[in-house]
Each structure stands twice: as structure tokens, then as C-alpha cells.
Structure 1
């Protein structure tokens, strides 16, 4: 009886060890910041620029910036044009970049991952060199002509080493 019991205990130890190794490997040490801001159900107003305050720990490092969009199937366009910029800790405003995010193909099929009428897509917004550690303020706004843009659920920013 002790031999089958020892085998079960050994098997459980291997399972626990496998779980611990998997969980520790799942941690993304390259991501410095990743957050979303919700957009009101009524729509994203033109004057509602989104602000993301990011504490950047390392200087003299290049970071990859990604903008993520969660859209509902009620979004009326294939694309969304965004203005993305950031301010440094010295309050020096840096040039804004324009990003065209393609959310649907020509047939109207949503490109993002999702279900139940909500889709998430990620768009690389380039790499930036951080000269000095500190708090950076990232700003995201849409540049379409609509005063209120319906169908956008959340907008996120991800910064990775």
C-alpha cells in the first residue's frame, strides 16, 4: 500500500512543480505599464483626450509602445485614426504621432479577438527612447470628424522594454 501512495504523492509534487514553473513563466517582466480606460456607453467625445500616467524606471532605454482598442460591433467604421503623444518629466511636449488602426477588413469582419460583440485589437505605435526616468504622461485622442464617436469600449496603452 505504501508504494501506490508514494507514487501518488510524487505525482502530486510534479503537478505542483509544473504549476509553479508555469505561473512564474507567465509573468511578463518586459511590460512596464499596461492599462485601459473605459469610454462612456454614449460614445467618445472629441474633447475627451485620454491620459495615461506612466512611471518609467529606466533611462537610456528604448520602449515599445502599443495602443489597444476594444470596440463593440456597433462601431461604424473600419478604421480609427488616433493621435498619440507623451510629455516627459521636464514637461517638454514631444511631437504627436498619428496612428491608423484598422479594426475591420473590407467585408466588415472585425480583426480583433473577441466574442459577444466586443473585440480587442493591439496596434504598435513605435518605439520611444526614454532619456530620464520619471513620470511620463501619454495622451490618446481620436482624429475622426465625429463630435461623438460611438462603439469604442476601452482604449489601452502598453509600454514594454
Structure 2
């Protein structure tokens, strides 16, 4: 009978430890920015560049940039080519880079995670050096021959230390 309170205390301490561990893992201090922009259901028009305004407070450091795509079953290609560039807080445009995202394998099987006809794929897009704190404007456009690109749901970027 005397072991029952002791076991209860051990169980309570275990639950508290599990709760604290889950809280600490839920707070990702390495992610500086993570956001998606939804695309129209009728398709992404060539003239519609996506803009992400990212406020960066820590300068003189390198950040990892990732591109994220949510596509539907009716996306017509295996790959997606995106042109990515950004402006510094001084409105200086840096050169654009083309990022290739493989959304399906050669058999046409979607590589991303998902279900119900919607799949999410994340691809590292390199690292960038932030020299000055402030708001950086990321610009994303697709580099494919279509005037209207069908089958894409959302485009996102993630910036991590």
C-alpha cells in the first residue's frame, strides 16, 4: 500500500517531463519565417509574381531557404521550376536563382506528403547571407511555358538559421 503514492508521484513527474519536452520541441527557434500563399483555383497566371515580406532582425548570418509546394493531382508536370530572388531593405535587387522541384517520380507517383489529392513537397533552396536587418522581399515566379499553370494549390517559403 505504501508504494501507491510513490508510483503516483513517479507517474506525475513523468507526465510533467513529457509535457515540458513537448513544449520545448514545439518551439522551433531556428525558423525565422514560414508562410504560404494560396493560388487561385483557376491557375497561377504567368504575370502573377508572389511576394513574401520577411522581417529579419539578426544580421551578418547565413540562413537556409526552403521552397514548399502544395500540388493537386491535376498538376500536369513532374517538376516545377521557380525563379526566386529577393530585395534587401535598401531595395537592392539580388540576382534571381532558378530552383527545380521534383514533384513526381518517373512513374508519375507524387513525392510529397499528403492525401486526398493534395501533396506537399519541400526542397532546400540554398543558403543566403543577410548583411543587414530589416524587411527582405522575396519574389517567386514559375519558369514554365504555360500562361496559366494548373494544379498548384499553395507556394511557400521557409527561412531558418
TM-score range, shorter chain: over 0.9
Q: Does 1:102 align with 2:102?
A: yes
TM-aligned CA deviation for residue 10 of structure 1 = 3.1
Q: Distance in 1 between matches of 2:25 and 2:145?
A: 44
- Distance in 2 of aligned mates of 1:21 and 1:114: 27
1:2 deviates by 5.9
Consecutive unaligned residues of structure 1, counting only runs of 5 or more, are: none
CA–CA separation in structure 1 for the residues paired with 2:65 and 2:154: 17
Distance in 2 between residues matched to 1:126 and 1:6, nearest whole Å: 52
- Name the stretch that deviates more: 66-75 or 19-28: 19-28
Instruction: For residue 40 of structure 1, report the CA deviation from its aligned partner.
Output: 1.1
- What do the CA deviations read for 1:73-112 (whole angstroms, capped 9, x no partner)? 1101001111000000000011000111111011101111
Query: Residues 50-89 of structure 1 correspond to what in structure 2 (within 5 A)?
Result: 50-89=50-89
Q: State the 1:23 CA deviation.
A: 2.0
Deviation of the 1:8 alpha carbon = 1.9
4+ aligned runs moved over 3 Å, structure 1: none
Q: Secondary structure at the match of 1:77?
A: coil
Deviations 1:51-76 (A, max 9, x none): 10000111110111111001011101
Partner of 1:12: 12
Question: Aligned residue pairs: how many?
Answer: 161
Give the TM-score normalised by the residue count of structure 1.
0.95
Cα-Cα RMSD: 1.3
Q: Which residue of 1 aligns with 2:123?
A: 123
Deviation, 1:27, is: 1.8
Deviations 1:24-54 (A, max 9, x none): 1232111100000111111111111111000
